[in-house]
Structure formats: structure tokens, C-alpha cells
Amino acid sequence: MGQIISGESQHVNSNGGIKNHTRNIPDRLSSELLKKNFSELESYSLKVCFDNICCVNEDGITHIDEESFVKYLNFADDINVGQLLFRSFTYLANYPNVSRSPSLLTYNGLVKAIAIYCDKIKNVIDEDYSKLLFESFATWEDDESLEKDTTTKLPKVKCQDLINILTAIVWVTTCEMLLPTNEDSGNFLETITYLISDKNISKIRGVVTPIIYSISKPDTTYITWSKFKSFTSRNAPNIFRSWSSFFYGQFFIGQTLSRSSKDSIFFGPSVRTWPTLDSKSNLLNPINMAILSWMPLPDHVINRRQWNCLYTSTKHGCSMSSFSNQVFKYNGPTLMLINASVITSNGDDNIEEDDTLLLGAYIPEHWCSSKPFGSEECLLFEISPTYESFPATNYNSNYVHYSSSFGIGFGSMDTARKTSRLDKQSNSFFLHIDNTLQYGTYKNDPLKASRSAYKLSATRTSFNIEFEVLEIQVFGLGGENAKQRQDYEKKWEENLAAKRKVFRQYNTKSVDKEILKIASIIDHGYRREVVFDSLY
């Protein structure tokens, strides 16, 4: 297992000279983290990385200064996050004796900070790593609500700082998604130029800014931990996940030779954690995918290598039959996205006519039309203009409904009525798209939906929106095998339909009947064989 590399060490500076480092003072917590949660290779790589960017102050203490730290990470200047991250690292470096005053980032301190950022604290630090990260970005203010003799300092993060932090998180996630694995490919430099452009960064900032100010209401200056926790626990429990892969790549297996070679964030080894799409999507673009990854989706879905686009209304057509042909028989979880234009809006949502919505649903089970389906793992969400999720409840099982007569509905809000009458009660759904797949409603009504299949909004009292669908897309999240099985099912049905067409040419009904019976037996065997082969 890994252990602290102590003793005298040397570092070759940019002028070719050798700097002598003072002896590392053993730190019990960092030693325990290295021993329990770091491999020997990880420990070695982190030490080499530290030696490449450290310096020695006038007191002979080896540490990483702010200038070297910011230069090493090399974020685009417009993101304004380098100094914030250095302040965070120096705060975490003192754990558990955290101090709000600046301190040196020594090797032992770097071990603790990296362990927290990469969530490698199991069985050593028994605290919520998200809370530790939040506090590391905070300024500390007096809580005036307490009596003077019990006044304590409470962490508050400036809204603008959180905007910069989330902009950086989305940026590194989109870098991971967009950059080719081979830097010699033709569009590598073109992609880099786009990623670091003011236009791209401004676009990301424009997406995350409303999210931050929705958390901070009514205060637009600071966000407390209680507000942040309340928001993220429901809507974005994975909000800091991208930091783990980014800092792992930078400090464990990253740019240990960056100062002597290519001093850029883009040339470190790629640590890919997000799935790729099998086709380009305007709705699930890298920015939307990055913030969607914050939501409470299952790990096995996020960790898929690829998501498959099953249905696009502008490509396959706006009809229930087209939808079912493309989505049904996919035996895996799916993600549905709805881009819509507002027709009318009532409530406290501050949405106006012609505003656009981006809504979605996560469905863990395969689609069917015979009865309501889904489970408590179902999730409704809104990406824009309000970022919020609506987890399933256990009040009833009316999670998803599909019918050629009334369309697609999520979360019947009229639990007193029988499911068989839902086709006559399309206005009882939390989210509903009619059977033309062109119009729908989206509502949050506490008076009528106190026992809805999905939780009510935590940020808005009520809203009732009628919209026109601009585009619907459905993505398969079950991996390569699930898509292959669906393709086999489609092929089997196409073969059977073609054979039936040939058989209909026979004039004798009895012969036709017998031939169809034989064909059915043959094709059933073929189907079983194909599915069996796909599994092995």
C-alpha cells in the first residue's frame, strides 16, 4: 500500500539547478489516507507531481505556492477559479484542524485535499465530502440570530464564487466529453480553441448562473450550507463528481512533466467517467449533459460507456406508432427529453409565452402500453429555465402511462380515479403529452396533487403550463447489449412480416394457415437463438 515518502528529496528547477527540500514531517491523517485508500503507484505519482511544482520558502518549508498551483491547473482566465481552488486546497490541507486563515500547501496537506476532492476518504474521514468542499470555498460570517454569548461563525459561499466553481465543473466535464482521445486527430486544436473561447465559457456561465440564484433566494449575495444541502440533496447530489476525475487525472496520473513539456490542461491523461452518445443531440448537448449528470440518476446509468438515441421526433415522426416502433422492445432504462415552447402559463413560475422549456424523465423499466409502469426509481426533471428534479413517491404507482388514445403521461395527480379512466383524464397528469406528440401540459398543483406519484416542486408554489412540443428525444441507457437485443427484436418482426406477405399470396386458406403456423414456429426458434447469442 502507499505510504509517505519522507526524507530529503531533490527537485530540478527550470534553470537546471537542484533545490534541496526539507524533511517532510509525518502527519498521522495523511499517512492513514495513503495507507488505506491510495495504491503505491498513486502515492508515488502524487509525490512526483508535488516535487515538480513545489518550492521552498525562506523558512525552508517545501510547499506549493498559489502561482504555481494556478499555473499548473491552467484553467481559462475567464473562468476565474484558480485562486478559489487554491484557497480550498489550503483550507482542506489543515484538516481536521481547519483554519480560515491562509496556510501553506505542503505535501501532507496536498494528500488530504486530494483525498477529499477525489472522495478517497473511506474509513478515515467520517464526514460528508460535499460539506467539506463547500466549507473550503466559504467566507465565515457571524450568525446574528444566536445570542451574543453563543455566536458562532457559519460558512457562507459567495454566489459569484459558486458561479465560477460550477462554471469550472461544467467546463471540465464538457472537455472530457468533447476532446478526442487522440491529440493528433484533425479537430483536436479546433476543439481546444472552442473550449477556451469566451463564447463557450459565457454560455456555460449563462446556464449555471440562474441555478445559483434560485438556490440563494431571497439573498443574492451568499448561499449557506443549509440552503446548498437542501437543494443538492434533492436535485444535484452528484454536483461535485466531476472534480474527482479531473483532479485524479491532474495529480495522480497527470501532468508530472508539464513544466518541461506541454504546459496545458489538455495534455494530461484522460480519465473518462461520462457516457458518450452514439449520435449528436441538440437537446443532450455537452452542457446539458454535464448538469444532468448532477441529478440523482443511478451510478450504473452514468457509468455506461455509451447512450443510444432511440427516438427523435424530427427524424422519426410525431406519432405514437413511430414512438412505439423506436422505443418499445428496448429492455433497459431510458431517458426522455422534451423541448417545448410555452403557449400559456399560470402560477408563480415567471414564465412567459414563447419561452422554451427543457423537460425530461428517467424511466428505469422498458416501455409498455397495457398498464401503468415504472418504479420509485423514476424521475421527472426540468433543466431549464428552472433546474429542479421531481423524485417519485410511494403514494401511488401511476409513474408512466402510454396509450394511443391519450398519449404519454407521467404521475397521475388524480389518485381517486381508476387507471382505466385515465384516458379521459389527461389533465390529471403532472406531465402530459397528447397522442399527436405535439402539445402537452406541465403542472404543479398542491391542492389537487397532494398524493401525486412525484414530489411537488420545492421552489415554486404552483404552476400550470401548456406547451407546444418542438422536439422529443428518447435515449437508451442500458448499454450495448440492450440496444443489440432491441435490434434483433426489430429484425425478427421485419422477417416475420415479410414472410406473412409472401404467404398471403396463397389462395387456399388452410394452406396459408398451416404455413403461417410453421413460419411462426421457425421464427420463434430463430428469435430465441438470436437473443441467446446476444447474451454470450
Q: Using H for helix, E for strand and C for coil, what is the string for 72-135?
A: HHCCCHHHCCHHHHHHHHHHHCCCCCCCCCCCCECHHHHHHHHHHHCCCCCCCCCCCHHHHHHH
Provide the pLDDT confidence category of residue 25 given band limits of 50, 70 and 90: low
Higher pLDDT, 284 or 194: 284
Provide the pLDDT confidence category of residue 215 given band limits of 50, 70 and 90: very high
Answer yes or no: do 338 and 425 share one domain.
Answer: yes
Provide the pLDDT confidence category of residue 186 given band limits of 50, 70 and 90: low
pLDDT value at position 190? 82
pLDDT value at position 489? 80
What mean pLDDT do residues 179-205 have? 79
Cβ contacts of 432-435, under 8 Å, gap ≥ 24:
432/406, 432/407, 432/408, 433/338, 433/407, 433/408, 433/409, 433/469, 433/472, 434/406, 434/407, 435/320, 435/403, 435/404, 435/405, 435/406, 435/407
Answer yes or no: do 136 and 246 share one domain.
Answer: yes
Contact (CB, 8 A) for 109 and 93: yes
Among the residue ranges 10-19, 50-59, 120-129, 130-139, the one predicted with the least confidence is 10-19
Which of 112-116, 255-259, 459-463 has maximum average pLDDT?
A: 112-116
Helix (H) or strand (E) holding 17: none
Answer yes or no: do 467 and 510 share one domain.
Answer: no
- Report which of 249, 305, 297, 311 is spatially closest to residue 275, judged by C-alpha positions: 305
**Residue 288: inside a domain, yes or no?**
no
What mean pLDDT do residues 169-174 have? 92
pLDDT value at position 185? 56
How distant is the alpha carbon of residue 108 from its chain centre? 31
Distance CA 117, CA 130 (A): 9
What mean pLDDT do residues 395-410 have? 90
pLDDT value at position 168? 96
Helix, strand, or coil (residue 475):
strand
Answer yes or no: do 470 and 516 share one domain.
Answer: no
Answer yes or no: do 461 and 489 share one domain.
Answer: no
Answer yes or no: do 493 and 447 share one domain.
Answer: no
Higher pLDDT, 336 or 256: 336
Among the residue ranges 28-32, 338-342, 383-387, 459-463, the one predicted with the least confidence is 459-463
**Residue 247: inside a domain, yes or no?**
yes
Q: Evaluate if residue 91 carries a pLDDT over 90.
A: yes
pLDDT value at position 195? 86
Print the domain residue range for 405.
Answer: 298-476
**Residue 275: inside a domain, yes or no?**
no
pLDDT value at position 483? 85
**Residue 292: inside a domain, yes or no?**
no
Provide the pLDDT confidence category of residue 266 given band limits of 50, 70 and 90: very low
Answer yes or no: do 258 and 322 share one domain.
Answer: no
pLDDT value at position 183? 54
Cα 32 to Cα 38, 98, 115, 244: the distances in Å are: 9, 18, 11, 20
Provide the pLDDT confidence category of residue 401 given band limits of 50, 70 and 90: very high
Answer yes or no: do 411 and 430 share one domain.
Answer: yes
Q: Please state the pTM of the whole predicted model.
A: 0.82
Q: Evaluate if residue 496 carries a pLDDT over 80.
A: no
Higher pLDDT, 354 or 50: 50
What mean pLDDT do residues 358-367 have? 96
Q: Evaluate if residue 152 carries a pLDDT over 90.
A: no
What percentage of the chain carries pLDDT values higher than 90?
Answer: 51
What mean pLDDT do residues 93-112 have? 85
Distance CA 217, CA 386 (A): 13
Answer yes or no: do 60 and 109 share one domain.
Answer: yes
Partners of residue 431 on adjacent β-strands: 410, 442
Answer yes or no: do 365 and 491 share one domain.
Answer: no
Helix, strand, or coil (residue 405):
coil
Q: Evaluate if residue 283 carries a pLDDT over 60.
A: yes
Distance CA 477, CA 307 (A): 5
Answer yes or no: do 363 and 499 share one domain.
Answer: no
Q: Evaluate if residue 192 carries a pLDDT over 70.
A: yes
Among the residue ranges 123-132, 146-155, 202-211, 343-352, the one predicted with the least confidence is 146-155
Number of structural domains in the chain: 3
**Residue 285: inside a domain, yes or no?**
no
Provide the pLDDT confidence category of residue 167 given band limits of 50, 70 and 90: very high
- What does the pLDDT look like over 51-78, one tens digit per residue? 999 999 998 999 999 999 999 998 988 8
What mean pLDDT do residues 145-156 have? 58
**Residue 1: inside a domain, yes or no?**
no
How distant is the alpha carbon of residue 75 from its chain centre? 21
Higher pLDDT, 187 or 34: 34
Q: Which of 219, 251, 267 is the last residue of a domain?
A: 267
What mean pLDDT do residues 287-300 have? 92
**Residue 33: inside a domain, yes or no?**
yes
Provide the pLDDT confidence category of residue 317 given band limits of 50, 70 and 90: very high
**Residue 359: inside a domain, yes or no?**
yes
Among the residue ranges 9-23, 365-379, 464-478, the one predicted with the least confidence is 9-23
pLDDT value at position 417? 45
Among the residue ranges 22-31, 220-229, 397-406, 516-525, the one predicted with the least confidence is 516-525
Q: Evaluate if residue 274 carries a pLDDT over 50.
A: yes
Q: Evaluate if residue 492 carries a pLDDT over 60.
A: yes
Higher pLDDT, 110 or 499: 110
Q: Which of 249, 267, 285 is the last residue of a domain?
A: 267
Answer yes or no: do 193 and 181 share one domain.
Answer: yes
Q: Which of 476, 494, 518 is the last residue of a domain?
A: 476
Higher pLDDT, 520 or 103: 103
Q: Evaluate if residue 20 carries a pLDDT over 60.
A: no
